[in-house]
């Protein structure tokens, strides 16, 4: 995909996300910095910070081999290129504990993926980082993708964490599952 096309589609996805009731009402939003040609949310991150929302970004913890969530106040000042070449919070910023995250029911997670299916399943890059991160935590899980990344069915495993909503440049799908 051409960089200009990715930028235009990212803007369209951000437009959809900006007015999503689950996002508007959330006081705490877990986001990500785009890797490769994932949907870029940087402008939306800056807007949420200006609105006074608390914004968390994932940072790889080398000691545990997993991601932790860190609150930022400014996407340019508080992030640097980290593990896997992805922008993440600077090392001097302290992560939120799993316990503090579990107390935030008024939270939304914006989650990238390689693919999603219409049943709320997500295919990541294969290491299970988001599955481990999300396990047992509350909040709306919103898959962020381009239309072409949403397919009918993905293979799943017992540990896979499902999405509540999938948002693309052209649609917002709320998913009901048991």
Query: Which domains are assigned to the chain?
Result: 3-174 (3.40.50.10420)
| Residue range 19-45, pLDDT digits in tens | 999 999 999 999 999 988 899 999 999
| Residue range 49-82, pLDDT digits in tens | 999 999 999 999 999 999 999 999 999 999 999 9
Residue 150 and residue 167: Cα distance in Å, rounded? 10
Closest CA to 45 of 80, 82, 72: 72
Residue 134 and residue 55: Cα distance in Å, rounded? 16
What is the helix, strand, coil percentage profile of the chain, to 5?
25, 30, 45
**Residue 105, pLDDT score:** 78
Q: Does residue 102 register a pLDDT over 70?
A: yes
SS3 34: coil
Please state, in angstroms and as integers, the Cα–Cα distance from residue 97 to each residue in 14, 64, 68, 118, following that order. Answer: 28, 14, 8, 32
Residue 83 and residue 62: Cα distance in Å, rounded? 9
Residue 66 and residue 23: Cα distance in Å, rounded? 26
**Residue 177, pLDDT score:** 59
């Amino acid at each position: 995909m051409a960089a200009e096309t990715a930028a235009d589609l990212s803007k369209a996805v951000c437009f959809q996300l900006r007015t999503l009731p689950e996002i508007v009402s959330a006081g705490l939003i877990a986001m990500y910095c785009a890797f490769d040609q994932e949907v870029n949310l940087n402008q939306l991150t800056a807007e949420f910070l200006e609105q006074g929302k608390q914004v968390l970004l994932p940072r790889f913890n080398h000691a545990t081999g997993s991601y932790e969530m860190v609150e930022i106040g400014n996407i340019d000042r508080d992030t640097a290129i980290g593990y896997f070449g992805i922008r993440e919070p600077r090392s001097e910023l302290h992560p939120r504990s799993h316990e503090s995250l579990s107390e935030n029911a008024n939270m939304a997670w914006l989650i990238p993926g390689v693919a999603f299916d219409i049943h709320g399943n997500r295919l990541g890059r294969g290491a299970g980082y988001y599955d481990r991160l999300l396990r047992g935590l509350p909040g709306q899980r919103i898959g962020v993708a381009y239309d072409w990344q949403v397919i009918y069915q993905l293979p799943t495993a017992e540990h896979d964490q499902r999405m509540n909503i999938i948002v693309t440049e052209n649609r917002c799908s709320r998913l009901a599952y048991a």
